[in-house]
Chains A and B, each alone.
Chain A
């Protein structure tokens, strides 16, 4: 008898070829979400099998082997409608013949549940009895999410829920997601948008060509990415080449000039060529402290400051890119951009 995990996917294997889409390959995926209410993020480039995994967990895709347990129950052979794993599609999936309210009511038992879900996703009451064709893209997406949540699923599977949405709609959806999380709703979130996944999820898996490249709690993934592919996803602009030798790395900037040295904290690293990675939230602006590694020529270095100060991203603690940063040094507070040697993580090339 296996332990009662919120989600336990064991060697989910799917062969996919050109009949099923533009890509060919084999997906081999395992993951465990221990507690109810945890959110799993799945990151990866297009064609890495993210959506196929979600469809398999939902039971819409049935060409797989391996086991899928939701809340301890084996759902591997269960039809999709009985799994209570509701998938939110990338494509529009509202029923045209029904009003917004009827759509939300479709998979739940009472009107109250549907209304509560619509309110949670901030769907204006004036729209409740209108047909979906009268709604904007953002409103439709919120109705789709409300319908999924109203179904009271054991797990909600979100496939690119922010795709094509404006900032205001994203903000409203993130706010609803945070309330869903508080209400102990387990979820899997697939997105190209790293910031959103980092902001919402407790555990993150990085996929590449159907294989798990890394999987770790979000904070560890940010500070200690396991490999270059993961680093490129979580800190795409803050990666520098480094030479690793005797437990020390020399970080090189433009023209192969060494911009600083730092201790190698990653015990799996071997001497040789590597990548030095600093997450955006560890990069600071202003006067550097002693021993800081200073990046002076921002415009010419292979870097872009993604964070500084205490900016907030959708009320979450994640810091985001500063667009107004002046790389020519005219902005007084931005002349020095620096980080501490202890904040640098390194992986082998």
Chain B
């Protein structure tokens, strides 16, 4: 308990749960009161039919963006880890791949919007997916790298020694080992996609993702609807993050125990 990291995470979790508690309280109390009344907020918890449709469409849109983006990011992250597997290349690649995370999202959104205009693409899902893949790549790469470090060098060398080609090594040695990291990276990128509003907003056009819709709702007023939507959003984020983190932690832990045993 002396670890400051633990306390930081605990505080973050409490803060993150706040909208969710509001959401739960709203559900329990029907269309009742918000947990904490904030001055200037609206108590109008009844969403209009148009708003409900908008939220439904935004959830669908988020999934249409998030699933392929997370999948692609996980695939590309895995390929990057394999290609940059030598220590020097991994260090350099790791730093370069951090650039998307360091770039201000608004700037990245504008950059992708310009690219979309240059390529004369319609404002639609594909540019958002591309931008999200770019943004998620560092996350996927580092999650894959975490698992890849547990891959025994002897398996790799053994395949080379038996005359395996690069793709055979990838197919039979790397891919089976990275399955768990692949799934974890997919879940985490999906969670990230679910809550990413800025790039999505820059590129959305008529297709607004869930995060964009919440942001638009928050601009007008902090209502029970906003709490509800934020709570749902948080819950939907929390589940894949926890599952992804747990399976990856479990796999790396097991691998370390096996090494100790050897």
Q: Which residues of A contact B (CB under 8 A)?
A: 55, 58-60, 79-82, 85-87, 89-93, 95-98, 106-107, 147, 151
Contacts and interface: CB of A to CB of B under 8 A. Distances in A.
A60 B159 CA distance: 10
A81 B164 CA distance: 7
A86 B163 CA distance: 9
B155 interface: yes
Contact of A151 (B154, B162, B172, B175): B162
Contacts of B53: none
Contacts of B152: 91-93
Contacts of B171: 97
B44 interface: no
A93 B158 contact: yes
15 contacts: A59-B161, A60-B160, A60-B161, A81-B160, A89-B157, A89-B158, A95-B172, A96-B176, A97-B172, A97-B175, A97-B176, A107-B162, A107-B163, A151-B162, A151-B163
A87 B176 CA distance: 22
A80 B157 contact: yes
A97 B162 CA distance: 16
B177 interface: yes
A86 B176 contact: no
Contact of A80 (B154, B160, B175): B160
Contacts of A92: 152, 155
A143 to B, nearest CB: 12
B39 interface: no
Q: Please list the 4 inter-chain residue pairs (A to B) with the smallest Cβ-Cβ separation, ordered nearest first.
A: A81-B163, A93-B158, A97-B176, A107-B162
A86 B159 contact: no
Residue in A58, A95, A96 with the greatest tally of chain B CB atoms within 10 Å: A95
A96 B163 contact: no
A121 B42 CA distance: 78
B156 to A, nearest CB: 9
A96 B177 contact: yes
B172 A81 contact: no
Interface string B163-194: 11000000111011100000000000000000
A175 B159 CA distance: 26
A98 B172 contact: yes
Nearest to B157: A60
Contacts of A91: 152, 154-155, 262
Given A96-B177, A97-B175, A106 B162 contact: yes
Given A60-B157, A91-B262, A93-B154, A81 B176 contact: no
A86 B161 contact: yes
A87 B86 CA distance: 22
Contact of A89 (B154, B164, B173, B175): B154
Nearest to A87: B161
